[in-house]
Structure 1
């Protein structure tokens, strides 16, 4: 079975700005801080926000490991889940039920219905907010976390100095959306991911690195030992029209180091340093600031 989602965008610049201001004001009235918004699986997102695999920058780790037929089954199941959770309302549900019954009748013979049925749906408010903020951010911070358990991700969609949406993507393909009106609160979420054991202790002496010799064999001790013994390796990169800084973090059992690249392909400006918790938080917050 294949389905095609039909969705009206209708988001003018005025509508988007009104949504941003309304959300920022609501967060301020609620006392600020981090406000959980929504949880969705890979396959549920594929239903309400279908993006070709090669076009999107947010990974879908669970769907990525499935075959095409398994993806079809997962997405069909996710559609039912979204309806039962009242996150979407499908107006042509009878037509879809007929298509699903036809597919079930032909599955045993290894056949496919072979035609697309548009899904006419209305999206619940919290899902609509997440999709709007996901699509309309002109600037974002992407965080990639590598541990022994696998790779996870986080994205901070930067809409203004007082509106951020954070999307965490677990190794199993669960997407957790959070809203905040505070740059410090957004930075705290990312800091907890790159330093989950709280080992960032104190600032050390900064070291200039040679951009042509950045492998662990040439960076020198103690950074080489930190890289080899890292339990969590983070990669923080600003996504925008104008390239931003890249920060790589290495967290061991006892300390955390950062390697900061101020500009892409720069011949200088690559700095390594052991950092404390306050310096790490400031470094992440700087990545989240909108340039004046």
Structure 2
């Protein structure tokens, strides 16, 4: 037991040191949002077991979720070739793999989704970094954004006060990864998704909503009009060990409103407000703070 505890401490210290070095490297490079990798749903499914078989992790896979099991197997086969050609992975058992594939072609099992070809993959540092940061965050901010074109997603993996990885997912299933050492810079990326047309103009009066009467007769005409005419609807939720804040955003061609719940059964209740760009940015950045920063 003592040895296991010691290994756990070492692992935590190694992770903290890795985060510190990565954050320092970003700071030395001038900060800002640094794009590091882009992957499709099916490419992620190849390198990350958590997204195989269509299983949903923290971030959905919009394209893969629409495919049948057979189509998914074919898509992953194509994605494997793409990853190799892009130099993101190396197959270390390629000769064994070719022999097995030839055998599957001979017995007609190459298109059977229940028959798997084992692949031994060695990833580049960029791909390994993305997977490690996906799995080891202290907490995360999940964003779901709905427009007439469909639903897009984003996740900010919060590792420390100076290290954030942002994963944006398009409606077509393209995952865009970037790193930053600033909560304000990470918030800018989410704000651009929530308010893509820069509609947020000025702050309005805060309105307290009755959680037991969230209907058109009780939320008030201004908010109800915004909800009915929204072009972009955002849902931002803090994912942590304990229940976190929830912010809903409603953007029309003229206004952007937020509806905020700091925590379940919050003493502040549910607050609605038309917001300007600065307030929206501060609100999103606040969702990215770790408990000791609050």
Note whether the superposition's TM-score is higher than 0.5: yes
User: For the Cα contact (< 8 Å) 2:261–2:269, is it kept in 1?
Assistant: yes
Aligned residue in 2 for 1:209: 209
Does structure 1 retain, via aligned residues, the 8 Å contact 2:199–2:254? yes
CA contact (8 A) 2:138 2:160 kept: no
The CA RMSD over aligned residues, in Å, is 1.9
Shift of 1:41: 0.5
Aligned to 1:248: 248
With 261-270 and 168-177 compared, the bigger mean Cα shift is at 261-270
For 2:16 and 2:161, how far apart are their aligned partners in 1?
13
Flag the 1:57–1:217 CA change in 2: closer, same or farther, 3 A: farther
1:234 maps to 234
Aligned to 1:14: 13
1:93 matched to 2:97: no
TM-score, normalised to structure 1, is 0.91
Q: Distance in 1 between matches of 2:260 and 2:138?
A: 23
Number of residues of Structure 1 aligned to a counterpart in Structure 2: 281
Find the aligned partners of 2:105 and 2:209 in 1 and give their Cα distance: 60
Deviation at 1:149, TM superposition (A): 0.4
Contact kept, 8 Å, 2:150 with 2:171, in 1: the verdict is yes
Match of 1:70 in 2: 71
Shift of 1:241: 0.3
CA change 1:232–1:22 in 2 (3 A) is same
Distance 1:176 1:55, change over 3 A: closer
CA shift, 1:96, in A, is 2.0
Instruction: Pick closer, same or farther for the CA change 1:112–1:196 going to 2, 3 Å.
Output: closer
Long gaps (5+) in structure 1: 1-10
Aligned equivalents of 2:233 and 2:188: distance in 1?
A: 17
Q: Which residue of 2 aligns with 1:282?
A: 282
Q: What's the counterpart of residue 185 of structure 1?
A: 185
The superposition leaves residues 249-291 of structure 1 with CA deviations (integer Å, 9 ceiling, x where unpaired) of 0000011000001112447510000000000001001000011
Displacement of 1:189 in angstroms is 0.5
Classify the secondary structure of the residue corresponding to 2:37: strand
Aligned to 2:4: none
What secondary structure sits across from 2:31 in the alignment?
coil
Structure with the higher helix share, 1 or 2: 2
Q: 2:194 aligns to what?
A: 194
1:99 Cα deviation from its structure 2 partner: 3.1
Distance 2:275 2:238 in 1: 20
Deviations 1:58-83 (A, max 9, x none): 10110000000000000111111111
User: 1:15 offset after TM fit, Å?
Assistant: 2.9
Q: Deviation string for 1:178-212 (max 9, x for gaps)?
A: 00001110010000000000010000001000101
